[in-house]
Amino acid sequence: MSDFKFRNLTILIISPEPWGDSFVSKHHYARLLARLGNTVVFLSSDGSTCQLYKTGIENLYRATYKPFFRGIGYFPSFLRRSFQKRKLKPLEKRLGKAFDVVWSFDSSVFYDLDSLGKDRIKIAHLVDISESFKVVEMALSADLCLGISDQVVDRFIRHNPETYKVRHGYSPVAPTPLADPLPGENKVKALYVGNLSRDIIDWETIGQTIHQNPDVDFLFMGPEGDNLGSGDKPAGAKLSVMAEDNFYKLPPVPSEQIMSFLSQADILMVVYVQDDPVHVANPHKMLEYLASGKPIVSTHAGEYAHLQDLIFMTDTNGQYADLFTSVVRDLRRHSAEERMKQRIDYAMSQTYEDKLNEIESHIGHVLSDKK
């Protein structure tokens, strides 16, 4: 097996999300790769022209491009590659060197990974099943395909045998004291962190849980758009929850500050709809929750089902309110130092450094096969 390492390389990371304050897996990989001495360009479509900017992090640049015209996916592959090459080549020119690695998390636009030529290491990486658009083209043009769940891996491996499962990672952050205490009059604080506009949140189950626990303050932190749900029933349930006296909405904070809020909460929540198992199988927030050490009550999440000694998890959503209540009633035992350490230790065994080591091993295997 070839001994491959991400060191002193020029790496292009293509993301469907822009660079900002809220970091997910592709942002964490970018920062880690830059810290290891690679030159990293983080590319997203939140611009009107092709530009390269400094991020304030050594070796890490963010780049933008004007979105492609509608319907590009219907063009022949050689034309798509030509259009994509016109977007990417100027970045190499500005850097003064060619990309050694093209690592795409975007299957909606940059799925022809060989548009810059075949003499690069090309990685197709999907971390959200809802973002799996042009999977076939992406898999066929990649040297290596990575997925965070069995569902993603199954889609890739049909078209590329060099497909591997790499679970979500954790980026350690030390909590800092909050300027103000968490809101609410109750002693026990329950916290949910995430995008409050997502349709997969089960607001009905949350409402039942709040009604059953009037002596708990329920805090929901995250961005929220205009979307209240896909129909009248979800929208009504969400509005009812937000009107409860012990419900508090907190604004989103930069990723580095989330742990400070988690560490001040008493119990953490994951509450997703039961009829969408593909999208809720592997919530990214779970490792961050575990790293806080706090008790977690979650609806069923298949990719974490093997951790039911660390996560309180239901089989059906109808069990959630009762499970949450039972954990709150025995919160002192569930928050004991030993139990908290077990959760933290697991999260610390799943860092992005660990995940990058896995990926390096897979690339080494691919390179060996090519010899």
pLDDT of residue 147: 93
Class of the CATH domain delimited by 188-348: alpha beta
pTM assigned to the model: 0.88
Among 73-82, 103-112, 145-154, 331-340, the range scoring the smallest mean pLDDT is: 73-82
pLDDT digits (tens, 9 = 90+) for 82-134: 877 887 888 899 899 999 999 999 888 888 888 888 889 999 999 876 666 78
Does residue 286 surpass a pLDDT of 70? Answer: yes
Better pLDDT: 2 or 320: 320
The single-letter code of the amino acid at 367 is L
pLDDT of residue 134: 85
pLDDT of residue 112: 87
The two tokens of residue 272 are 């997703």
Burial class (CB in 10 A: 0-12, 13-18, 19+), 109: buried
Percent of the residues in the chain that have a pLDDT greater than 70, as a whole number? 91
Rounded to 5 degrees, what angle do the CA atoms 153, 158, 161 make?
Answer: 80
pLDDT of residue 355: 97
Going by C-beta distance under 8 Å and a sequence separation of 6 or more, which residues neighbour residue 152?
Answer: 126, 127, 129, 132
Does residue 226 surpass a pLDDT of 60? Answer: no
Model confidence band, residue 230 (pLDDT cutoffs 50, 70, 90):
very low
pLDDT of residue 232: 40
Better pLDDT: 107 or 226: 107
Better pLDDT: 75 or 170: 170
Better pLDDT: 127 or 30: 30
| The CATH number of domain 10-169+351-370, selected from 3.40.50.720, 3.40.50.2000, 3.40.309.10, 3.40.50.300 | 3.40.50.2000
Long-range contacts of 201-204 (CB under 8 A, 24+ apart): 201/238, 201/271, 201/272, 201/273, 202/271, 202/272, 202/273, 202/274, 202/299, 202/317, 202/320, 203/229, 203/234, 203/237, 203/238, 203/240, 203/241, 204/233, 204/234, 204/237
Does residue 360 surpass a pLDDT of 50? Answer: yes
Domain boundaries, the chain: 10-169+351-370, 188-348
Phi, psi of 217 (to 5 degrees): -90, 130
pLDDT of residue 228: 37
pLDDT of residue 149: 87
Percent of the residues in the chain that have a pLDDT greater than 90, as a whole number? 64
Mean residue pLDDT across the chain:
89
pLDDT digits (tens, 9 = 90+) for 263-279: 999 999 999 998 665 55
pLDDT of residue 233: 45
pLDDT of residue 142: 95
pLDDT digits (tens, 9 = 90+) for 59-68: 999 998 877 7
pLDDT digits (tens, 9 = 90+) for 178-206: 989 999 999 999 999 998 988 889 999 99
Burial class (CB in 10 A: 0-12, 13-18, 19+), 71: exposed
For residues 155 and 31, give the distance between their C-alpha atoms in angstroms, rounded to a whole number.
28
Check if 10-169+351-370 and 188-348 are the same fold.
yes
